[in-house]
Amino acid sequence: MKKTLTVNLNGMVFHIDEDAYEMLGGYLADVRKHFSSEESPEIMNDIEARIAELFTERMRDGRNVINTADVEAVIAVLGKPNEFGDSDAETEETRQQSRASRRKVRRFYRDPEGALLGGVAAGFAAYVNWDVTLVRILMILLVVVGFGWFIPIYLIIWLITPEAKNAAQRLEMQGEEPTLENIRNYVNSAQFRESAEKMGGRLWSVCRGLLKACFVLVGVVLFFVCIAALVGTVAIVVMTLVTGGAAVADALLPFNGSKFIFITMVISFAFTVILPLAAITAGCIRLANDRPLRHGGTWAWVGLALWVISVTTLIVTYAMSDSDLRLCGLSAAELSGPAVTESRPAGNFSGVQASHGIKVILSEGDSCAVQISAPPAMQDYVRCSVDDSLLHLSVNTKIGKPMLDAVTAYVTAPRFTALTASSAARISASDTLRTPFLDVEATSAGAVDAILIADRMVCSATSAGKIEFAGRCSYIDSRATGAAKTDLASLACDTAYVSVTSAAHTSVCGRWLDLKASSAGHITYEGGDDGITRHASSGGGITEKN
C-alpha cells in the first residue's frame, strides 16, 4: 500500500503515488536549476503544461493514480537536462544529424501569437511551413474570387480548430518535438518572432479593415436571407395547413406522403439552411465588432445538435415521402402510352378512398369489382386494398400535373356509403347513385361529383377540396373550410344545415335552411320556403341566389 498525493500541474489536478511524486519533484528541480533565473518561470510553466498533457494521455487507460513508470515515460519524452547540457557537449553537426533523423509530424493549431482574426492563417502557415503573408493573401483572394463562399469555411475552421496555448503545442504546430531543449530554445526566441511579426502590421491593419467590411456585408446579406427563408417556411406551412399540402407539394418536389410528413420535411429543410446561415451571420457580426467567436459554447452545441437532427429528419422524411422514385424517371412516352385495363382482386366494400391524383369512376352493380386503366409502366405503382369495408386507391409516387389522367380506376359496388378524395384525386359516377346514407369528404384539392338520390348526406370539404352533387336528398349536413367549394344548388333537399369558414363557399337549395358563415366564408342559397336561419360573422356572407 502506497501513500497517494495530489499535485497541480498547469491548472490540472492529478493523483500521484509518493515514489512518483519524489521522482517528479527531483526532475522539476533539476530542470529549474539548469535554466537561468530570468527565463526559468516561463519555461517551467510550458514544461509543466507539457507534463500535464502527457499525464492526461497516459491516464486514458482508466487508471487514476500516476506511478513511477508514468513519470519515467514523461522524462524519456522530454529528456533530462544533462542530456543536452552545455553547448560544447554536443557539436552542431551532431545536433543537425539528430534532428534530421527524427520525422517531423506537424499538428494543426490556431496560432494566437500571429493572429489577426482567429489565428487560422498563421496556424496553417506554420503547418505547411509557408510564409504567413502569402497564406493571408491567398485567403483574401479566395474570399474575393469566390464571392464570399470562403468566409463560412474560415469560420468553421476557426470553431473546430484548437488554439496553441503553450510552448509545447506551438512546437507541435511547427513539427518540433516538445522536449526541454526545444521548449527552452522556443522561449528564448520569442522576442525575435514578435519583432518579425510586427513588420507587416500596418499592411495587415488595412487588410483587416477590408475583411471587417466584408464580414459586415456578408452578415447583412445572410441576415436578410435568413429572414426570407423563415418567412418562406412559415408561408409554406400555412399554405399546407390550408390546402392540405397536395398542391404545394406537387409544385415543389416529388411528394407522396401525408400532410404531417410534408410539413416536417419543410421545417427540417428550413432548419438545415437557416441554422448555418444564422451562425455565420452571428460570427460576422462579432468579428465586425472586434469580438472573439465563442468556441464551443452552449448555444453552439445546441445549434449543431439541432442541425444534425434536421439533416437526419430531412433525409428520413424525403425517403418516406417517396420510397420508389423510379417512376419519376420513366419517359414521357411510357407515361402517356396506350392504357391497358387490369382487374384487381378486392373484397366487399361500400366506401372508396382515393388519393394522389387518381381518377375514380363509380357505378352500381351486383358485386364489388375494381379495374385499373393505366399505361403498362404504371400498373405496378397503383395501390389497391380493402380495409374495414373501405377501398383504398392511390399511386405510390408523384405522377405530375400532365399525368393526372394517366390512371383511372373503374369501381363497381352494390351501394356506396362513403366517398373520400384527397391529394388531387377525383371521384365521379357514371350513373345515378342510390343509397340511404352517404358520407362525402374532399380535402387537399380532391374532388367528388355525382348525381345522387339519398335520404341523408353528410359532406365535408376542406383545404381546397371540391364537392358537387345533383339529384335529390332529404337531409343535408354540409361543412366547408379552407378555400373549399361545395356546390349543392342542383341537389334538392327538404332540410339543410350549412356551415362555411376560412374563405370557403357553398351553394345550397332547400325548403328549410340553417346557414352559418364566418371568417370570409360565403353561402349562396335558394329556397327557404319553410324557414331559414342565417348567421354571418367575422367577414362571412350569406346571399340569396337571384
d(CA 515, CA 510): 11
Task: Give the three cell numbers for residue 497.
Answer: 344545415
b/e sequence 314-337, b meaning 16+ C-beta within 10 Å: beebbeebbeeeebeebeeeebeb
Give me the pLDDT at residue 527, please.
93
User: Cell 390546402 appears where?
Assistant: 243
d(CA 491, CA 471): 5
d(CA 12, CA 49): 9
The conformational region for residue 522 under phi > 0 = left, psi -120 to 50 = alpha, else beta, is beta
User: Cell 557539436 appears where?
Assistant: 91
Give me the pLDDT at residue 210, please.
66
Cα-Cα-Cα-Cα torsion 69, 72, 78, 80, nearest 10 degrees, comes to: 180
Burial class (CB in 10 A: 0-12, 13-18, 19+), 170: buried
Single pTM value for the model: 0.48
CB 67 within 8 A of CB 20: yes
User: Cell 387518381 appears where?
Assistant: 358
In 3D space, the residue among 349, 359, 463 whose CA is nearest the CA of residue 413 turns out to be 349
CB 395 within 8 A of CB 411: no
Distances in whole angstroms, Cα of residue 127 to Cα of each of 137, 175, 193: 17, 8, 16
Distances in whole angstroms, Cα of residue 135 to Cα of each of 104, 123, 336: 21, 10, 59
In 3D space, the residue among 513, 518, 523, 514 whose CA is nearest the CA of residue 544 turns out to be 523
CB 161 within 8 A of CB 117: no
Give me the pLDDT at residue 402, please.
41
Task: Give the three cell numbers for residue 245.
Answer: 399540402
Please give the helix or strand (H or E) that residue 88 lies within, else none: none
For residue 529, give the DSSP letter.
Answer: E
Helical H runs in 412-478?
A: none
d(CA 486, CA 523): 10
d(CA 485, CA 459): 11
Burial class (CB in 10 A: 0-12, 13-18, 19+), 245: buried
Helices 201-243 and 259-288: crossing angle in degrees, nearest 10, is: 160
> How many CB atoms are located within 10 Å of the residue 112 CB?
14
Distance in angstroms between the alpha carbons of the first and the last residue of the chain: 106
SS3 state at 522 = strand
Binned average pLDDT, 10 residues per bin, the chain of 546 residues: 80 84 83 65 75 80 82 79 52 47 65 73 82 80 71 80 73 67 59 46 58 68 74 70 52 51 76 79 67 62 81 77 48 65 91 92 95 86 90 71 70 96 92 96 93 97 94 96 94 96 94 95 94 93 91
What DSSP line would sit under 147-164, residue for residue? Answer: TTTHHHHHHHHHHHSPB-
Which residue type occupies 507?
S
432 Cβ contact list (under 8 Å, min separation 6): 450, 451, 452, 453, 471
Give me the pLDDT at residue 243, please.
53
Beta strand pairing call for 447-462 and 433-443: parallel
Which residue type occupies 268?
S
For residue 323, give the DSSP letter.
Answer: S
In 3D space, the residue among 57, 32, 33, 51 whose CA is nearest the CA of residue 42 turns out to be 32
For residue 103, give the DSSP letter.
Answer: P
In 3D space, the residue among 534, 532, 531, 507 whose CA is nearest the CA of residue 518 turns out to be 534
Distance of CA 477 to the CA centre of its chain: 43
Cite the beta strand spans of 58-151 per DSSP E: 65-66
Give me the pLDDT at residue 410, please.
96
Which residue type occupies 180?
L
User: Cell 350569406 appears where?
Assistant: 542
Stated length of the chain: 546
Domains of the chain: 1-101 (no CATH), 200-321 (no CATH), 330-431 (2.160.20.120), 434-546 (2.160.20.120)
Give me the pLDDT at residue 341, please.
92
